[in-house]
Amino acid sequence: MTGLVCLLLAALVWTVFGQTIHFEFVNYDDSICIYKNPLITQGLTWQGVVCDFTRGSFEAWYPLTDLSHQLDWQLYGSHAGGHHLTNVLLHAATAIVLFLVLRKFTKAFWRPAFVAALFAIHPLRVESVAWVVERKDVLSGLFFMLTLWAWAKHWAASVKNLDAARFRFGWTRWYFLALVFFTFGLLAKSMIVTLPFVLLLLDAWPLRRLPAENLFISRHSRKAWLGLVLEKTPFFFLSAVFCIVTVMTQHEVVSLTQNLTVTWRIGNALQTYVDYLGHMIWPVGLTVAYTDSSMNPTFSKNIIAILILSTVTLGALFAFKKRPYLAVGWLWYLGMLLPTVDLMQLTHNARADRYTYLPQIGLAILLAWGAGGFLSFCRCRRSIVAFAAAMFLIVLAVCAHIQTSYWKNSVTLWTRSLACNPTNSYAHTTLGEAFADLQNWPEAAAQFQQTIQLRPDYSDAWRNLGVACVNQNQHEKAIACFEQALQISPRSADAHYSLGDALANEGKNDDAIRHFEQALRYRPDYPEADYDWGLTLAREGKWDEARSHYERAMHSQLDAADTRYISGVALATQKKWDEASQLYAAALQLKPDFAEAHYRLGIALDAEGKPAEALSHLQQALSLATQQGNSTLAESIRNEIKNHEAAQPH
């Protein structure tokens, strides 16, 4: 039966989350963390492994998680489905190990199976499994469960006498294996720092390594508590070390919470606990981003939250003697969620479904054992509980399947978010960026305008709207948007760069160069600004000055096609047509729709005396420039074609 339950858990996970193998990456950190992250896209290399453990990426230190992403890239490359598959397999393995651990600890069967199934397919799991970036959740979760599994083996091998008064601690190989698994879990995500606390809860129930009487005040109980805490000293030490590392590596994020008042943060913590509790039973309105207004703790909300939390806590503690599982499940939930609520929060997103990944197991334990105990007086208790559990899991599985479908791509994800909260300015912005990635500029502009209506002082929204206007040939409106962005944020490197680019396209080279200079002043490592500055100088024939900017751009993370194109332009100015042609051709191999490269190659081939090939590339350039809405380039190409045809003998 155990094997059958494991297969059923795997089937449940696949039924809900298997669809993700056909999903794309989303524009919610997937780009900067994965498919545009050089640390990941180089695949599995020794240099990359060293960097994982010594430096990390993007102000976060999750070396084991980064290592898993590198391995995925080595296996699947940019195919998002493969990365999703790894998340699904890790989550299925975690659910199975959870069942085996609870079965080992409690000697029960169906209740552990219910807890594991609830964990496996609850809609709150969707964000952790369907979002590739949240690999750290499923990976650390698996090592969390493996730590508990090794601890169960250690307990069975070393603790023969469960009388706390005669507690003896013994070292076993399973103890050290548990430490190893715990370390791996912390290297995947430091949120599991509360695991030693969970081990103490398991000592109380179901292991019952404490006296049955006078749990907190007797001499025997105090000695037992001391012995159990000392037993877990290495685990507490590891937790302390990783807490320090997390704060040190995410110090800029920590500073965000320092701007919030203590009253607000306490209120938000109380509200978060209650909201997650509600979503456990009624998972409706789940979304990827909750706005600040939806989390604003009012006085009345705080009072209600305090009443709910204090009532459940006191009730669980008073019932400990007869029903210890209630206190253990409830304290598991409260304790494991603590690192993610705003009191200890290390991110500006004070609430997210993924934070419930492991804490909610405590509520599932409380529900599974509590429901059975509550119906103990009923003769048909088993039938009632079995039917209710089955219906509950079926409904949750259907809801989770639907919730997962919203992660298909960036447009579906943020459209769903706006359906839940139309005033979410962040969702409008990110949906606009998703449309921009698809070159759907009218829809992108509409979303950016919605953001500005909600947040008129949002500099990036003005800049994004300007970019959308540029791509719709609304150049005057674009320049006005960029100028507005700079009025709001005068030190914005992106706004200076975008305004400089727009002015350069209008032929206002001196003004453009001034803004490129400002962009590089505020962000010295800005290859796009160096590149466009070089192009602007090249238009004025200042190639010696332009070349220095090209060289800086070529040593950065600019696209390889761009660097070849730049070098070709530089050689063409020196009339080295053959070498320039080779570089243009190399750029086109990397980027076949590179209109400028086709245009320049046509000019170079014409200069080499290859008119037929030149005309072919000029015609391709014109077609691409027209499709891409680059009217300025298209006009230049038409003039070049006219000159080419006029130069041919009749």
Angle (CA) 139 140 146, round 5°: 95
| Among 86-100, 489-503, 583-597, the least confident range | 583-597
* 3-class DSSP state of 37: coil
| DSSP annotation of 60 | B
Rounded to whole angstroms, the Cα distance separating 112 from 366 reads 11
Percent of the chain clearing pLDDT 90 (strictly above)? 50
d(CA 360, CA 391): 19
Q: How many whole angstroms separate alpha carbon 45 and alpha carbon 181?
A: 24
Q: Confidence class of residue 402 from pLDDT cuts 50, 70 and 90? A: very high
Neighbours of 631 (CB within 10 A): 12
Q: For residue 268, how many other CB atoms are within 10 A of its CB?
A: 24
Backbone angles phi, psi at 594, to 5 degrees: -80, 90
Give per-residue pLDDT as tens, 544-587. 677 677 667 665 545 567 667 777 877 777 778 888 888 888 88
Contact call for residues 247 and 241 (beta carbons, < 8 A): no
Identify whether the C-beta of residue 56 lies closer than 8 Å to the C-beta of residue 249.
Answer: yes
Average pLDDT over residues 609-635: 83
pLDDT exceeds 60 at position 58: no
Tens-digit pLDDT profile for residues 421-452: 898 899 999 999 999 988 899 999 999 999 99
pLDDT of residue 635: 77
pLDDT at 377: 57
Torsion sign (Cα): 534, 536, 538, 544: negative
Per-residue pLDDT at 557:
47
Query: What per-residue confidence (pLDDT) applies to 355?
Result: 93
Report the alpha-carbon distance of residue 646 to residue 650 in Å, rounded.
9
Mean pLDDT, rounded, for 172-194 = 94
> DSSP secondary structure string, 107-172?
--SHHHHHHHHHHHH-GGGHHHHH-GGGHHHHHHHHHHHHHHHHHHHHHHHH-----GGG------
Per-domain boundaries in the chain: 2-405, 568-650
Closest CA to 352 of 275, 462, 418: 275
Q: Which of 88-92, 142-146, 273-277, 341-345 has the lowest mean pLDDT?
A: 341-345
Q: In terms of residues, how long is the chain? A: 650
Question: Given this model, what pLDDT does residue 240 score?
Answer: 93
Query: 623 or 393: which carries more pLDDT confidence?
Result: 393
User: Which pLDDT does position 556 carry in this prediction?
Assistant: 57
Judged on CB neighbours under 10 Å (0-12, 13-18, 19+), 360 is buried
pTM of the model: 0.83
Alpha carbon separation from 331 to 309, 366, 444 (Å, rounded): 11, 10, 46
Residues 6+ apart with CB under 8 A from 82: 21, 72, 75, 76
Residue 163 banded pLDDT, cuts 50, 70, 90: very low
Containing 238, the helix (H) or strand (E) segment is: helix 233-249
For residue range 139-158, list pLDDT tens digits in order: 999 999 999 999 999 888 87
Q: Give the per-residue pLDDT at 166.
A: 40
- What is the CATH superfamily name and number for domain 568-650? Tetratricopeptide repeat domain (1.25.40.10)
Q: What is the pLDDT of residue 217?
A: 53
Question: Has residue 252 got a pLDDT over 60?
Answer: no
Q: Can you spell out the DSSP letters for 441-498?
A: HHHHHHHHHHHHHH-TT-HHHHHHHHHHHHTTT-HHHHHHHHHHHHHH-TT-HHHHHH
Mean pLDDT of the chain: 86
* Per-residue pLDDT tens digits for 526-536: 888 887 888 78
Q: What's residue 408's pLDDT?
A: 96
